[in-house]
Amino acid sequence: MSRGQPPEFLPSSAGTAYVIRAGRLIDPETGTATSDQYISVKDGRIVEIGPNVAPSVGVETIDLSAFSVLPGLVDAHNHLALTYKKFPENDVYYYTYIQDSTAIRAIQAVSNGMQMLSSGFTVVRDLGNNALYVDSALRIAIEQGWVPGPTIINSGIIIGGTGGQFHPTPEMARYHSIVYPEYLEADTPDEIVKAVRQNVLFGAKVIKIMVDSQPYPYTVEDMKLFVKEAANAGGLKVAGHVQTEEGARRAIEAGIWSIEHDVALNDELHKLMAQKGIWRVGTETPFTEYSSTQEEFDRRVVRMKSAYANGVKMAFSTDADYYVPGMSRGQVVIDFLKTWKAAGIPSKEILKIMTTNGCKVSDIYGKRGPLKPGFPADIIAVNGNPLEEIDSLRNVSFVMKDGLVFKRDGVMTPERFLHGGPVNGWRIW
């Protein structure tokens, strides 16, 4: 057990054992499936997978013989502690920061995390705009064993030049009293180092920067310093919000880990990203009655096709940070399948992007995600075959996280995740 990390074997999962009978076991990495398989799970981890796993005495068998069984899904860009609304703020999130306290947003984040888990998302990369380190608190609460939720890879406060992503009034900028928990200002090399260290100190697992949201974008040298300082702090990676072509070009040259959002990307930039192995976390909002426009969507689909054709490393990602009446956060997220389908990407490729690629961009692939012995049992089940029809992911009926059953027969069963103390240890931060 390294410093500040959850123990390898979680006490909250200790003593539990299940055998899962899978009608169709899917390996998203190879895009293949095998029928009639058994997965034995003990103490939160997968022990054995095969057609003839011997049932041990007293171990419960979970019968998923009528289902496809597969690894949990990943949303590589979400904001669990931000939920702006049509009413009262007219979806202007600037106002959400004024009316929702850090405390209420922390409670929203717990709920949003559970909603994501219920939709099969066992990993969420949570990239800022989470008030005063709500994302760290949520990750820690989940890892310590207070509440159920996905594995969180969180950024802490987004780092940007003066003003961050916003155009605050001079009053706000001067007193740093409103809006400011959302952005950590770093304009000079010293400030960049300091900001990275502050985020690491307060629990960030990835560094998120605003590359070019002000008329004074970060330079290539600035971003190289971010990359160096993040690497120095336990090997963290740098995710860059990019909205201009020039910003993208600089970010690619600096060798950041991932470009967040697709708006600035084009065929030429995709070629450069593919060459350098930079992740594309496109947050491709679909056109629906509650989001985007046909024109925006058409351009987005063209960009996605270009990225796919150029072999860019792509992640399923949403930027979900709003409320749609009648939909859970998980349902808002899974609706992004519309964009991937419109781009003509085959179901089995989308599934690989949502699982294998998600764990890779989250930089946890060697520790979590694939269904194989020794790995945490993060397992979901759906009706139908997502290798052929990706929309079958819209109906997740079973979710296991760290070897504990979170959802069964379409109903959340969170009891085993709730504890009256930090059952996995309080030295997790």
* Binding-site ranges for Zn ion (CB under 5 A): 319
Q: Cβ of residue 77: shortest distance to Zn ion, in angstroms?
A: 6
312 contacts 273 by C-beta, under 8 angstroms? yes
Judged by CB, which is closer to Zn ion: 319, or 378?
319
CB 99: neighbour CB atoms within 10 A?
11
List the beta bridge partners of residue 280.
259, 314
CB 219: neighbour CB atoms within 10 A?
12
- The amino acid present at 246, given as its one-letter code, is E
Q: Cβ of residue 271: shortest distance to Zn ion, in angstroms?
A: 25
Distance of CA 81 to the CA centre of its chain: 13
Q: Cβ of residue 399: shortest distance to Zn ion, in angstroms?
A: 25
Runs of H (alpha helix) within 346-413: 347-352, 358-361
Judged by CB, which is closer to Zn ion: 75, or 319?
319
Tokens of 400: 């296991």
Per DSSP (E only), the strands in 342-403 are 379-382, 396-401
Strand order in the sheet with 151-154: 73-78, 121-126, 151-154
Judged by CB, which is closer to Zn ion: 42, or 77?
77
Q: Cβ of residue 319: shortest distance to Zn ion, in angstroms?
A: 4
CB 174: neighbour CB atoms within 10 A?
9
Judged by CB, which is closer to Zn ion: 319, or 335?
319
Judged by CB, which is closer to Zn ion: 73, or 281?
281
Strand order in the sheet with 183-185: 183-185, 158-160, 207-210, 238-241, 258-260, 279-281, 314-315
List the beta bridge partners of residue 315.
281
Q: Cβ of residue 320: shortest distance to Zn ion, in angstroms?
A: 9
Judged by CB, which is closer to Zn ion: 100, or 319?
319
**Residue least distant from Zn ion (Cβ):** 319
Judged by CB, which is closer to Zn ion: 222, or 319?
319
Q: Cβ of residue 261: shortest distance to Zn ion, in angstroms?
A: 7
Tell me how far apart the 2 most distant CA atoms of the chain are, in Å.
69
Q: Cβ of residue 79: shortest distance to Zn ion, in angstroms?
A: 6
Q: Cβ of residue 278: shortest distance to Zn ion, in angstroms?
A: 18
Judged by CB, which is closer to Zn ion: 24, or 241?
241
Q: H-helix or E-strand containing 33?
A: strand 32-42
| Locus of tokens 């410093």 | 3
